């Protein structure tokens, strides 16, 4: 088979680096585009001697042009502390990043994949959340640069598909964790693990009864490739995540037990617009290509804890 040339924007990030690894294992040529705002060199260091791997230091807000067969558009800070650090840049990354990826896909009739998010559902009033749910999103809150940015990117993807016949794939990602996460990214799994390993107080926001569903990174990447390999008639959006639902207190207790930590729980006020419940309805992914997550939370946490012990 002829090698495909695949662009991964945000390829040095947590999920981007796992995707690059999977694509290289499939014998593709991989172009990893990243401006290293949150992406890290250490994530892609294992691939640097691979002749089929190329790194391009570039901000997706700015146009680019070269031949590609497929595009995975992942570029965007994904944790609240990072995307709230420069909210205008976050919004521009979502919108201009989508436009530039779509224009390049149009030029070469390439498949283009959009990494959307469960945040498009906002503080959901329907539980669990199916793809048909339109969401409950604050358009001008502190999370809006990310939430509305991702919603706007989805709009562009489907408008390009309707107007230009662009070959699109849209996935909505629910909370994902695993090795290559930035230990300082401010996400709940990395926060809890790092605090527990240092025997520091574990920070619980609100009463700790808000819920999330945690998907291990390998399961998610496998689902992405299933979606990208599917027929062009399958555009999405498709939810991907683990439907197992846990409170923040349950997660903290699991992390403390698995790390044998002496950490205590401390409570702080809940940040603005923080969703109270989050759980995916993944029945569509099962119907389309038989996908479902396989790694249970305890096993995934063990692997992630081993990674974080390096820091």
Confidence of residue 263 (pLDDT cuts 50, 70, 90): very high
The single residue of 83, 91, 121, 146 carrying the catalytic annotation is: 146
| pTM (global) more than 0.85 | yes
Strands 70-73 and 167-173, how do they pair? unpaired
Query: What are 31-61's pLDDT values in tens digits?
Result: 999 999 999 999 999 999 999 999 999 999 9
91 is catalytic: no
Looking up tokens 């808000």, which residue turns up?
A: 210
CB contact set of 163 (below 8 Å; sequence gap of 6+): none
State the Cα–Cα distance between residues 185 and 69, nearest whole angstrom. Answer: 32
State the Cα–Cα distance between residues 176 and 5, nearest whole angstrom. Answer: 26
Structural tokens at position 76: 């965007």
Pick the closest to residue 100 from 153, 176, 44 (CA basis): 153
Query: What are 216-256's pLDDT values in tens digits?
Result: 999 999 999 999 999 999 999 999 999 999 999 999 999 99
- Inter-residue contact 58 to 33 (CB < 8 Å): yes
| φ, ψ at 187 (rounded to 5°) | -80, 160
CB contact set of 276 (below 8 Å; sequence gap of 6+): 123, 210, 211
List domains and CATH numbers for the chain. 5-177+217-243+280-294 (3.40.50.720)
């Amino acid at each position: 088979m002829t090698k495909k040339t695949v662009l991964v924007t945000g390829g040095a990030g947590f999920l981007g680096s796992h995707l690059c690894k999977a694509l290289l294992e499939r014998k593709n040529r991989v172009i990893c585009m990243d401006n290293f705002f949150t992406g890290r060199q250490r994530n892609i260091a294992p691939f640097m001697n691979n002749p089929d791997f190329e790194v391009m230091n570039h901000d997706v807000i700015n146009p680019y042009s070269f031949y590609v067969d497929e595009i995975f558009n992942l570029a965007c800070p994904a944790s609240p502390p990072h995307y709230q650090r420069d909210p205008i840049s976050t919004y521009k990354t979502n919108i201009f990043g989508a436009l530039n990826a779509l224009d390049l896909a149009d030029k070469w009739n390439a498949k283009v994949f959009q990494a959307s998010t469960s945040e498009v559902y906002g503080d959901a009033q329907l539980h669990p959340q199916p793809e048909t749910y339109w969401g409950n999103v604050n358009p001008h809150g502190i999370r809006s640069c990310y939430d509305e940015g991702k919603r706007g990117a989805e709009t562009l993807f489907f408008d390009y598909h309707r107007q230009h016949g662009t070959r699109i794939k849209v996935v909505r990602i629910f909370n994902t964790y695993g090795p290559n996460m930035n230990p300082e990214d401010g996400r709940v799994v990395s926060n809890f693990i790092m605090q527990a390993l240092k025997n520091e107080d574990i920070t619980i926001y609100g009463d700790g009864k808000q819920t999330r569903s945690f998907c291990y990174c390998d399961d998610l990447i496998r689902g992405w490739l299933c979606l990208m390999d599917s027929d062009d008639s399958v555009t999405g959006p498709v939810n991907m995540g683990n439907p197992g639902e846990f409170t923040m207190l349950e997660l903290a207790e699991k992390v403390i037990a698995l790390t044998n930590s002496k950490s205590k729980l401390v409570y702080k006020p809940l940040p603005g617009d923080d969703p109270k419940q989050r759980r995916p309805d993944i029945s569509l992914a099962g119907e389309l290509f038989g996908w479902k997550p396989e790694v249970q939370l305890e096993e995934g946490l063990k692997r992630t804890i081993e990674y974080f012990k390096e820091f």
